[in-house]
Amino acid sequence: MTKKQKLLIVEDDREALRQLDWAFSRFYKVIKTDTEEQAIELFIEQQPRVVLLDLSLSDDQEEQEGFRILEKVLSLDPLTKVIVVTGHDEDKAAIKAIRLGAWDYYIKPVKPSELRAMVDRAYHISDIEEKSLTNARKEFDENKYGEIVGGCPEIKEVMQFIDNVAGTETTVLILGESGTGKELVARAIHNSSKRKEKPFIVINCGAIPENLLESELFGHEKGSFTGAYAQKKGKLELAEEGTIFLDEIGEIPPILQVKLLRFLQEKEFERVGGTKQIKVNARIIVATNRDLKTDMNEGKFREDLYYRLNVVSVTLPPLRERGNDVILIARFLVDKYCAENNIPPKSLSREAELAIRKYQWPGNIRELENLTKRAIIMSPGSLLFPSDLGLKETAESKCLLTLKEAKEEIERKCLLDALEKNNGFVSRAAKDLGVSRGTFYDLLKKHGIEIEE
């Protein structure tokens, strides 16, 4: 059975709300309310892709309430299709709603079949947009730089490096702090090379126990050691005609450094417990967060292996030095994890982006990935805040709240000044401030200003 799409209906006339519920509940999972506050709560909780909103234009104050709901919904999710329902003589309000971002409007009296056709069309367009976004993400994922996101000068140099070395067969050394995206660069080099249709094999030399690392790299013969019940091909063999990426190469023990050096020189090796020379045609890319030159000078890393690996190298910048790239990466990760986990689209609040920009990210991109993934899964709303990411609110974001309070204080003073200037006449005061009489009353109520009628 096909799962019903969610439809949020906001209507302050309870009888009209009941009729709309009856008309649409057979086709959609109807979520309904007659108040502004609950409308926003339900939208955040249920995340419907289409909203039916009666602007209640018979009263100026209620008209503003309808516009507030519209603006709030679209600020939470700009892709939401909001259909406003208006009276036959309310063209100006309908046009204003469209300018504010409403998807379409319907003029009363309501004919359920006509309105349902409009709602069906809204869902159809929403489906098309969702597929388009998915395809766009897929195309982005499949570009030659993969998931390398950013535009700072340092990352542009990295992209140029990828272009320069991708077409060659030379060994590449990638340097950088842990979590800076070394595997992404290695994968991008592979995907831009003539080997891109062949295997890309990854092995983390620091994550495998020393007594197992040789077998993982070179394979073993049956009976070569306790537990070797069958012949096993190593990662190097599995990378035939492709690329092997050796991460944390600085952790490889001295005895294996000799065997790896021989493979780099001769392109052949023996399995553990074997005598047969096995030739492999695979490109080698290595990476480390260690200072290999220091390790070499201290006798921890072979000098001949160091120079064999360090033919061409690139150093990746830490995330804290990439400026606004961190915001671009965070936005990309939010979109990516929402799509991967079948979660409705979410976005970062301004406060969250400020906190992300301010934080130093000692764990670099890997830390940002982990915090973003957790926030996507655990946050109930479609807008992510610093607390969702486990970050502290910055002084800048707190300043935004202070500015808001200051703006409201100025707004209140303007209202009082206009009333005093016009001897309490609301129409004249509203005209001086360039707002409608209804909006003026709405502002008076907002600021708790009482006047004598």
The backbone region for 385, taken as left when phi is positive above 0, alpha when psi lies in -120 to 50, beta otherwise, is: beta
Give the pLDDT score at 332. 92
Query: What are φ and ψ of residue 33, in 5° steps?
Result: -160, 160
Classify domain 157-316 by CATH architecture.
3-Layer(aba) Sandwich (3.40)
Q: With a threshold of 0.75, does the pTM exceed it?
A: no
Domain 320-389, CATH number (from 3.40.50.300, 1.10.8.60, 1.10.287.1400, 3.10.20.740): 1.10.8.60
Same fold, 6-140 and 157-316: yes
**pLDDT (tens digit, 9 = 90+) per residue, 161-208?**
999 999 999 999 999 999 999 999 999 999 999 999 999 999 999 999
Class of domain 6-140: alpha beta
Predicted confidence (pLDDT) at residue 438 exceeds the cutoff of 90: no
- d(C-alpha 75, C-alpha 106), whole Å: 22
- d(C-alpha 381, C-alpha 46), whole Å: 9
- d(C-alpha 186, C-alpha 166), whole Å: 10
395-446 fold:
Arc Repressor Mutant, subunit A (1.10.10)
Q: Are 288 and 249 in contact (CB under 8 A)?
A: yes
**pLDDT (tens digit, 9 = 90+) per residue, 375-411?**
999 887 778 889 899 987 654 444 444 445 556 666 7
Question: 15: exposed, middle or buried (C-beta count within 10 Å: 0-12, 13-18, 19+)?
Answer: exposed
Residue closest to 286 by CA, chosen among 364, 195, 363, 217: 217
The backbone region for 176, taken as left when phi is positive above 0, alpha when psi lies in -120 to 50, beta otherwise, is: left
For the chain, what are the domain ranges?
6-140, 157-316, 320-389, 395-446
**pLDDT (tens digit, 9 = 90+) per residue, 66-81?**
888 888 888 777 778 9
- d(C-alpha 124, C-alpha 81), whole Å: 11
**128 against 236, higher pLDDT:** 236
